Amino acid sequence: SAVISQKPSRDICQRGTSLTIQCQVDSQVTMMFWYRQQPGQSLTLIATANQGSEATYESGFVIDKFPISRPNLTFSTLTVSNMSPEDSSIYLCSVGPSGSDEQFFGPGTRLTVL
């Protein structure tokens, strides 16, 4: 199984600022996914990050708000831009070859926006 780390583990941010979350995997993976879990809610897929191409965003999520980078096969970043209190959530990255294989999740980044 892949070992996934995320930085930061948590942060408290001011409205209007941006935060970049890092996801590091201990092995090369084809696809990486970013999910959001709002307080008391389930997980929702934000986007799929493929190395060498632009991220693919789900309905309701846009690149200007959640820009994603995938510079290599072991690393990705998600930026939450121009934050508002509604962005307070846990953000998780996940890895899996195609989304249909065993998908393991990072420990999550707990974001609070004041």
Partner 1 sequence: AQKVTQAQTEISVVEKEDVTLDCVYETRDTTYYLFWYKQPPSGELVFLIRRNSFDEQNEISGRYSWNFQKSTSSFNFTITASQVVDSAVYFCALGGADGLTFGKGTHLIIQP
Return the residues of window 2-21 that contact partner 1 according to CB under 8 A.
none
Q: Does 86 bind partner 1 (CB under 8 A)?
A: no
Buried b (16+ CB within 10 A) or exposed e, 17-42: eebebbbebeeebebbbbbbeeeeee
Strands (E), 3-81: 4-7, 10-13, 19-25, 31-37, 43-50, 56-57, 68-72, 75-80
Q: Which is nearer to partner 1, 11 or 58 (CB)?
A: 58
Closest to 32 in 3D by CA, of 18, 21, 19 = 21
The pattern of x and - marking residues 54 through 83 that bind partner 1 according to CB under 8 A reads --x-x-------------------------
| Alpha carbon distances (Å) from 55 to 43, 48, 52, 71 | 18, 6, 9, 11
Piece in contact with partner 1 (CB under 8 A), picked from 13-21, 60-68, 74-82, 88-96 = 88-96
Of 24, 65, 88, 90, the one binding partner 1 (CB under 8 A) is: 90
Of 14, 39, 100, 114, the one binding partner 1 (CB under 8 A) is: 100
By CB under 8 A, how many residues form the interface with partner 1?
Answer: 25
Where on the chain is the footprint of partner 1 (CB under 8 A)? 1, 33, 41-45, 48, 56, 58, 90, 92, 94, 96, 98-105, 107-108, 110
